[in-house]
Structure 1
Amino acid sequence: MQTDQQARNPLEARFMRYVQVDTQSDPTSPSCPSTEKQKDLGAMLATELRDMGLSDAHLDDFGYVYATLPGNSGKKVPVICFCSHMDTSPDSPGAGVKPLIHRNYDGRDLMLPDDPAVVIRESAHPDLRAQHGNDIITASGLTLLGADNKAGIAAIMEALSFLVEHSELKHGTIRVLFTPDEEIGRGVDQVDMQKLAADFGYTIDGETLGSIEDETFSADGAVLKIAGVSSHPGFAKGKMENAMQILAEVLTTLPKDRLRPEVTESKEGFIHPVSIKGEVEQAEAHFILRDFDDTLLEAHGKLLRETVESVMRNYPASTHTLEIRPQYRNMKNVLDRFPHVVAYGEEAISRSGIEVKKRSIRGGTDGSRLSFMGLPCPNIFAGEHAFHSRQEWVSVQDMQKAAEVIVNLAQIWEERS
């Protein structure tokens, strides 16, 4: 099994080029985009799109890339948008990505040279079993790879290039949208829907070959702030109410055998503390609440509130606030009203000779919010795996199939119109 850094085809070259641009988003930044460096990739993509012939391609002030491939059909075809996000997760290092191509994968452990402790094993990554003979791209061990979601970007760019070169393939108008800040839940905050002017869309941000996802979590965020009572610790008896310990009591009072990410799967939701900070007088925790069922999501919020209030009754001199805000909702609530959007996606996958794997996402995509903004938008595979980690990997052949599915979709929408 040979390892190299040299691309052998245009899609590989695109992907290798994109992942070397640091585009990590920053949840602590209030700006849009949250990091200016995301615009470095946006500018690169806009230039490549214009060079491809999409003359209106541009990067706006908020870090979004828009472009149009005009239709070549005599029919009135709905305008279709293909969308991927440019940012990478802040959960693992993202600067200085060195992509490596492991040619003709044969099932052996993938050793990442810059950190021998980072090993990608088939036993821990079952989807690798379907990759024997394929070419696997990883980072070098010190960073994430960025296949989430630069694999989707590369697939869209490859598909557009193919459609431009093969004008005999009939299609309607295609819009391209590349977004910043998806990884921090703000990927469509500043999308100009009038400029986009699309009827339906597909995010290319899924995992396993053949997967199409029409359902996501519904999501809320919660912020709990506790104001305790400070006192000199030597004279604190009967006076101090330590905000950090109150917060700790809230966390340990929440269910331990359910409603935690580490003990849930499939359609089970959770209440998940993602960050805490504090001192004796003040403590604060941020939570994410998730479920596929909006009624159950509401119940999770109620349980969190009741738990906090129950604990706080033991600390009469302390006060608290708990704010629960909606983040996004299950896109299935919208997509069920437009079943042909998902059906065309399934057909496009089948035309590529791939088994369709219809799934639900234990998470969200830009498509979750875009669906509720008037752009019904399921999610299609890009081939990315083990995202947000230094073990992230993608198959070249899966990215090629994703590009093929995009081309198929463009043709199917024209044929059905």
Structure 2
Amino acid sequence: MIDLRLLRENPDLVRASQRARGDDESAVDRLLTADTERRAAVHRADDLRAEQKAASQSVKKATPEERPAVLERAKALAAEVKAAEEAARVADEALRAAHMSIANVVAPEVPPGGEDDSVTLRHVGEVPTYDFEVRDHLEIGTALGAIDMERGAKVSGSRFYFLTGPGALLEFALAQLAITRAVAAGFTPVVAPALVRPEAMAATGFLTEHDEEVYRVERDDLYLVGTSEVPIAAMHGDEVLDLSAGPKRYAGWSACFRREAGSYGKDTKGIIRVHWFDKVELFSFCAPEDAAAEHLRLLQFEEEFLQALELPYRVVDIAAGDLGTSASRKYDLEAWFPTQGTYRELTSTSDCTTFQARRLGIRSRDADGKPQTVATLNGTACAIARTIACLLEFHQRADGSVHVPVALRPWLGGLEELRPGMSLVPTP
């Protein structure tokens, strides 16, 4: 949630952010009203409690003649205090509801507009030409014995799959490469739970515009996560972190689940847009003043990872109207898919400033020892299914084989290529 001090001091900035997102500006006025009413309700309850305390003292000093009237007044004040405390509770709930309805304030550098207005910052690597008819990743993966969509659908329904043989090995190789590089960059590896309580989903902003994407286990009142960002963010809820040595960084592994509601007809073939996949997610807790630099650090990690996979890509500064609830700024890295003749998102990184941590009650101490809300940032190290799809398409060859990037070879027994029907046992 946004800082209420910012709202009180500069409501026009918050209104401008809402406009940039295409959200309801009147929500800002509702929050201002709720804030004023809550403060007034708390002030009235405090005043009445003070008056009640004074009346209790008066009972002890009252003469026998005065005592009945003083007792009656004390009794009346007790009822007023109870009513005022209930009014303050209701006002507090109304404030929280209004507060939770406002998305994070958009960073001033963010491009205005919607999805089509995002700005490409740079292209890295060359898009090749192929002297043969390129095949899509599903055709290649099926020929390699790497992807089995038919049996995935038989077992679990549409948009589920099996990774088999070289497909399974590619999954493990990508995970190892991502985690190894993350540890070398100072991230602590975490295997995160894929089921979380509603509070964690709400606090990280995934029960607002993303609620249709989320799987819920109603019997246990738990949610399946769409990213390990959720459990890692909530891991330090209501804690005071020691950030004196710098940001606290994690690289989280988890299965991820997304209903993909409203995406019917989009990328339904293959494993680009599926209901389940595994992912390595980067996550940082840092001082608010360090967030912008940390965001660039996450972006650099993601760029270097795609470079290690020998994939051309572009960096996109996401427009305000396409930002998630929690993000103040977001970069997407889109890699080249030859069969689609375009770049498609493989990773992204978001600066959520203090928005999530304020909801979760996560703080640190500044240089003067005063508590302050921390900033949180997240970034995808590797969304594995989609990355496999891109690798198979981009690195395909005319003879049906697939080039294995040098960085992945140590995790694939030294294999330099994948071929249909090949043995996966390393040659001595």
TM-score tier, shorter chain, comes to: under 0.3
Which of structures 1 and 2 has the larger relative contact order (alpha carbons within 8 angstroms, sep 6+)?
1
Q: TM-score, normalised by structure 1?
A: 0.24
Q: Which structure: larger Rg?
A: 2
